[in-house]
């Protein structure tokens, strides 16, 4: 049985739908969790719902402070064993209409921030010669998507980056993997017009959107010692919509 007792876990983007499911999953498996996000009210709600959780407000796009942030996380948790990079943004637009700032903001937040969190987080893990990093990517990093050239590029790049990191740190007992969700039921997808949602669902062999728990189950597996011989891989959670 998977258990994370005494494991210190950082979850970014913890206040969204998938983030909430990740927090719930790792706490249920006895992990010591620190959740981060940018919305104070949502972090407070998370703390109210899960009293055992640690919370720390931080904007991961502030690259100059990420090393300090990781130091604070490790101090608050008294170590760092598992990192789940779930935070990310979208700024959708057709390529000809996409502003430079829309491109750079998505790349800087989704890709560059993830790199720095991995860099400084793995530095902490090296001391104990143990670590698990799971980066949340997206199905569109494999398939592309209309109006999401920036987002798709950032997610595809995370996959390639993760493979490189996996090679660099495999001998140190640090694994780096990705989980690539398809269309997941969240507050964001709840706002999709039903006719469009029906079209999306028709493209999924399982004929339903995924849940946050579907994603968190995959992440928990890769973060556990059950998956200790798996690194540099991407686990797809999409109901068969995309089969690598």
Q: In which residue are the tokens 């005494």 written?
A: 6
Q: How does residue 114 score in pLDDT terms, banded at 50, 70 and 90?
A: very high
Helix-, strand-, coil-residue percentages of the chain, each rounded to 5: 50, 15, 35
pLDDT value of position 33:
98
Element (H, E) at 235: strand 234-237
Tokens matching residue 228: 């200790």
What is the pLDDT averaged over residues 89-103?
Answer: 97
**Residue 30 lies inside a defined structural domain of this protein:** yes
18 in any annotated domain: yes
Q: Domain count for the chain, please give it.
A: 1
What is the percentage of the chain residues whose pLDDT exceeds 70?
Answer: 99
Angle at 108 between CA 115 and CA 38, to 5 degrees: 90
| Structural domain contains residue 141 | yes
Residue 103 within any structural domain of the chain: yes
Question: Per-residue pLDDT tens for 155-183?
Answer: 999 999 999 999 999 999 999 999 999 99
* pLDDT of res. 71: 98
For residue 86, the domain's CATH number is 3.40.50.720
Say if residue 65's pLDDT is above 70: yes
**Residues 22-55: pLDDT tens digits?**
999 999 999 999 999 999 999 999 999 999 999 9
Place of tokens 């719902």: 49
Type and span of the H or E element at 43: helix 40-49
> Is the pLDDT higher at 92 or at 1?
92
Asked if the structure places residue 188 within a domain, the reply is: no
Residue 115 predicted with pLDDT over 80:
yes
State pLDDT tens for residues 179-216: 999 999 887 677 677 887 888 899 999 999 999 999 99
Domain range spanning residue 158? 8-182+211-237
Is 153 a domain residue? Answer: yes
Q: What is the mean pLDDT of the chain?
A: 96
Is residue 243 a part of any domain in this protein?
no
Phi, psi (rounded to 5 degrees) for 235: -100, 120
Q: What is the mean pLDDT of residues 227-240?
A: 98
For residue 151, indicate whether it is catalytic: yes
Within-domain flag for 191: no
Q: Of 130, 151, 229, 242, which one is the catalytic site residue?
A: 151
Calculate what percentage of the chain has a pLDDT beyond 90.
Answer: 92
pLDDT at 197: 81
């Amino acid at each position: 049985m998977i258990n994370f007792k005494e494991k210190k876990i950082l979850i970014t983007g913890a206040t969204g739908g998938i983030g909430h499911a990740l927090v719930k999953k790792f706490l249920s498996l006895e992990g010591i969790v620190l959740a981060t996000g940018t919305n104070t009210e949502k972090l407070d709600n998370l703390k109210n719902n899960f009293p055992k959780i640690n919370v720390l407000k931080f904007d991961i796009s502030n690259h100059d402070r990420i090393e300090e942030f990781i130091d604070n996380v490790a101090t608050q948790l008294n170590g760092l064993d598992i990192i789940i990079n779930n935070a990310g943004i979208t700024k959708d637009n057709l390529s000809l209409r996409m502003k430079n700032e829309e491109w750079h903001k998505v790349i800087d937040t989704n890709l560059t921030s993830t790199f720095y969190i991995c860099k400084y987080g793995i530095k902490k893990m090296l001391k104990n010669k143990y670590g698990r990093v799971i980066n949340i990517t997206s199905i569109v990093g494999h398939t592309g998507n209309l109006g999401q050239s920036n987002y798709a590029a950032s997610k595809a790049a995370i996959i390639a980056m993760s493979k490189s990191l996996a090679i660099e740190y495999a001998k140190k007992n640090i694994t780096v993997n990705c989980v690539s969700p398809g269309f997941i039921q969240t507050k964001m997808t709840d706002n999709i017009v039903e006719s469009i949602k029906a079209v999306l669902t028709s493209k999924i062999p399982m004929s339903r959107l995924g849940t946050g728990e579907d994603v968190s189950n995959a992440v928990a597996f890769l973060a556990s010692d059950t998956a200790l011989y798996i690194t540099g891989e991407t686990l797809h959670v999409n109901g068969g919509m995309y089969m690598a």
